[in-house]
Amino acid sequence: MKVEQISVFLENKAGRLAEVTRILGEAGINIRALSLADTTDFGILRLIVDQYDRAREVLKEKGFTVGKTEVVAVEVPDRPGGLALVLQILARAGINVEYMYAFVQHSGKNAVIIFRFDNLEDAISLLQKEGIHIYKGEEVYRL
């Protein structure tokens, strides 16, 4: 039920993001979702890709600092209040959301949100118990 996410540490300067996407594109790796957070000096690019191991390998070969983080892909009703419903379930149980970002797909009925929780196992168990669909990694990489 966990998804492997690549975290790439980038200097906060022009062209670094373009370089990462070029390297992945040349290696035939498709980016499925991404998030970029920055500070004055550096940024953290978080990626869900269709070939995790290959992406990590090619980026490291090019000198990038690459980390692995496990995240959860949660199906959320694509309607007003859909995300609030899921977040309220988590809040009542005292589970903290460290960060989240949307995953783009073509469904139209539901959205997919990538979550990083302070307690991954408890969050997965709770959401499953509440009937919330959690995607397996293989499903996410194919979307």
| Residue ranges with strand state E in 14-109 | 31-38, 42-49, 65-77, 97-103
Contact 69, 34 (CB under 8 A): no
Six-digit token pair at 81? 């209040």
Domains 3-69 and 71-142 share a fold: yes
For residue 135, CA distances in Å to 23, 50, 55, 92, 104 come to 27, 14, 21, 22, 14
- CATH T-level topology, domain 71-142: VC0802-like (3.30.2130)
Question: Percentage of residues in the chain with pLDDT exceeding 70?
Answer: 97
Tell me: the pLDDT tens digits for 68-124?
999 999 999 888 898 999 999 999 999 999 999 987 665 567 889 999 999 999 999
The pTM score is 0.87
Looking at residue 74, its pLDDT comes to 94
Domain positions in the chain are 3-69, 71-142
For residue 108, CA distances in Å to 12, 48, 91, 111, 130 come to 35, 20, 26, 7, 22
Question: Percentage of residues in the chain with pLDDT exceeding 90?
Answer: 71
The CATH class, in words, for 3-69 is alpha beta
Arithmetic mean of pLDDT over the chain: 91
Q: Provide the 3-class DSSP secondary structure of residue 88.
A: helix
- Is the pLDDT at 33 greater than 80, yes or no? yes
Six-digit token pair at 82? 């859909």
